[in-house]
Amino acid sequence: MITLENVTKIFGGTTAVDNVSMEVPAGSICVLLGPSGCGKTTTMKMINRLIPPTSGRILIDGKDNATVDQVTLRRSIGYVIQQIGLFPNKTVEDNIAIVPDMLGWDRKRSRQRAGELLEMVNLDPGIFLKRYPKELSGGQAQRVGVVRALAADPPVLLMDEPFGAIDPINREVIQDEFMRLQARLKKTVVFVSHDIDEAVKMADRIAIFREGRLLQYAAPDDLLAHPANSFIADFVGSDRTLKRLRLIKVADVMEAEPCRVRPEDTLEAAAAMMEEAGHISIVMVGPQGRARGFVTLDAARGRKGTVGEHYEKLPTVVNVADDLRTAVSTMFARGVSWLACVDDDGFFKGYVTQRGITHALGATYRDG
């Protein structure tokens, strides 16, 4: 856990950070956002004392960082910057092992650690360990910069716009890889960004700064649904409702365990089920419960035969673990107003509708 207590930093006559108090829970990602010069980078650099605070305290797991030797403190905190800062005369392997070497790790152990970390970010150790930084693409170098910060397994990771210089496609890939890493490693991360979409995607908590002051500190969905003032509403963007689609899972808004039919059921029975439920279509499942197709009320009403003789194939499905952005994009791409929801094994779990998504987003605003 990282705790800032009334932290202030004054440069000359300018107050860069003004009485900031906040707490970053252990194992979470906190993204610091705000316009240029708002104090977010200064705040982050005070955590590892690259910049000393003028007043206030910063505690890491309850220990005042001012009482810890600077070198010891910085070696216990991973640090990733946009410029990466790999040593050009060292191999990827030796770059990753720099801090473990400084800490006196056995060479075999530190090099094994380098290989393990490369695998975590989808870089083949057999190919990349002996390469030099000039032989890497920008995205590959950034991956190496991230895992170098993790080499000594620090509990805290500071990241200063680490993906800002990477093209959008590689940025998305590296963000996803970092989130997979974080799910496994559970570091306490403080992350400076200028990109609200990146913050919404990656953060457990977002801190919005302006002119050195912390204006709002909240979970992404709460921030988007309930900005504290007009400045924050403008900063996060007029499309903040659309941004929220990334934060909500299909499982959270779907109609779970609805009625369903099997191929051997009669059309008469299917029509009766739909009429009772007020539905205009119903999903047909196979013997084990996997989604196989659907039949509409118009096709079933007043007709003889079985569902298996008159069903239509589902144009597509959505996974219960997908976010609503994926669901909405799929609906638009397929020209449909609802989707069957399945788990990883294809078992039918429910359905999600455009109306249901609109209601779920609107309910949060009304509750606020």
6-41: per-residue pLDDT in tens?
999 999 889 999 999 999 999 999 999 998 889 999
The superfamily CATH assigns to domain 2-244 is P-loop containing nucleotide triphosphate hydrolases (3.40.50.300)
Span 168-189, pLDDT tens digits? 777 888 888 888 888 888 999 9
The token duo for 145 is: 């910069």
pLDDT of residue 236: 85
The superfamily CATH assigns to domain 250-365 is CBS-domain (3.10.580.10)
Residue 205 has pLDDT above 90, yes or no: yes
* Range 187-192 average pLDDT: 93
Residues forming CATH 3.40.50.300 domain(s) in the chain: 2-244
Residue 74 has pLDDT above 60, yes or no: yes
Grade residue 149 by pLDDT with cuts at 50, 70 and 90.
confident
Residues forming CATH 3.10.580.10 domain(s) in the chain: 250-365
* Range 193-200 average pLDDT: 88
